[in-house]
Chains A and B, each alone.
Chain A
């Protein structure tokens, strides 16, 4: 008994997790459940990365997506109130047409994607050295720009959610 069947099985499990999580996000009514299942999708994705041999990327995936972004989404869910409604109103008015379009595009693409052949062998060693070297030498400039971008996003988010003085006064009065 060889362990060759390990990889496909793991792949199958992980892909089920990914796709099921995605479907849940789209179909579930309760937002909190949807958010947590989204986190589950991200974790499965990290597993996929490991399967592909990109451990560093997997680590970053867990850190950023599962750690930061999920929390952010949960904050968003917290601060907005979404009243319970009958199920039919979950979906936008344009749902039927949208479903048609998406299906029309998705099915051919999915079928087409199977035409990619080639099975990459799993290499030894990690990807970290090459990645690190590349980021800090070849792609140093975009890296710096990315940090500026993050700074801008941070500032933008703060500005967007700031309350100006009139609103502060109104809030204090309400208390």
Chain B
């Protein structure tokens, strides 16, 4: 009895929406960044799972995953840079408090 493909996709979906909920719900900016990483991971899982659907691994899915790794890493670096730079300006990490662009 092998695990059906749908299970992997379901896990990926649940993780993805968990991360999504976290982005929309948490106040701390760093925590939001962590949830974004969760979403990216979920996407990677879905990619790899689909690339295995038809027998041997389709290497194109895996290459895509490599690139997602790269992008995620870059994004975390720059995102943290932004948070730190903003923190230096006003020592607030609470996203609800940042509304200077109102109106």
What residues of chain A have their CB less than 8 Å away from a CB belonging to chain B? 4-5, 7-8, 11, 15, 18-19, 22-23, 25-26, 31, 34-35, 38, 41-42, 45, 48-49, 51-54, 56-57, 60-61, 64-65, 68-69, 72-73, 75-77, 79-82, 89-95, 98-99, 101-102, 105-106, 109-110, 113-123, 127, 130-131, 133-135, 138-139, 142, 146, 149-150, 152-154, 156-158, 160-161, 167
The bracket for how many chain B residues form the interface is 35 or more
A156 touching B81 by the CB < 8 A rule? yes
Query: Quick check: is B101 within 8 A (CB to CB) of the other chain?
Result: no
Residues of A within 8 A of B11 (CB): 15, 18-19, 48
Docked complex Cα distance between A135 and B6 (Å)? 28
| Cβ A65 vs Cβ B37 within 8 A | yes
5 more A-B contacts (CB under 8 A) besides A52-B48, A82-B93, A138-B63? A25-B35, A31-B30, A117-B5, A123-B56, A150-B73
A116 touches B96 (CB 8 A): no
A73→B17 contact, CB < 8 A: no
Type the 1/0 row for B1-33, where 1 means its CB is closer than 8 Å to any CB of A.
111111111111111011111101111111101
Chain B at the A interface: SS class: helix
Which residue of the partner chain A has the closest CB to B12? A113
For A52, what are the chain B residues with a Cβ–Cβ distance below 8 Å?
8, 48-49, 52
Instruction: Tell me if B78 and A91 are in contact (CB < 8 A).
Output: no
- The answer for the CA separation of A35 and B22 in the assembled complex, in Å, is 13
Residues of A within 8 A of B96 (CB): 92-93
A93, A116, A161: which contacts B9 (Cβ < 8 A)? A116
Measured CA separation A110–B7 after assembly (Å): 10
Q: Are A23 and B18 in contact (CB under 8 A)?
A: yes
Residues of B within 8 A of A22 (CB): 14-15, 18-19, 22, 38
Q: Which residues of B contact A (CB under 8 A)?
A: 1-15, 17-22, 24-31, 33-35, 37-38, 41, 44-45, 48-49, 51-57, 59-60, 62-63, 65-67, 69-78, 80-85, 87-88, 91, 93, 95-96
**Residue of chain B at shortest CB distance from A11:** B3
What's the Cα separation between A92 and B60 when bound, in Å?
39
Chain A residues closer than 8 Å to B75, beta-carbon distance: 153
Nearest-neighbor residue (CB-CB) of A28 within chain B: B31
- Contact A157 to B80, CB < 8 A, known contacts A89-B27, A118-B5: yes
Residues A38 and B38 in contact in the complex (CB < 8 Å), given A153-B74, A153-B77, A161-B85: yes
How many whole Å from B1's CB to the nearest CB in chain A?
Answer: 6
A69 & B72 in contact (Cβ 8 Å cutoff): yes
B44, A110: Cβ atoms closer than 8 Å: no
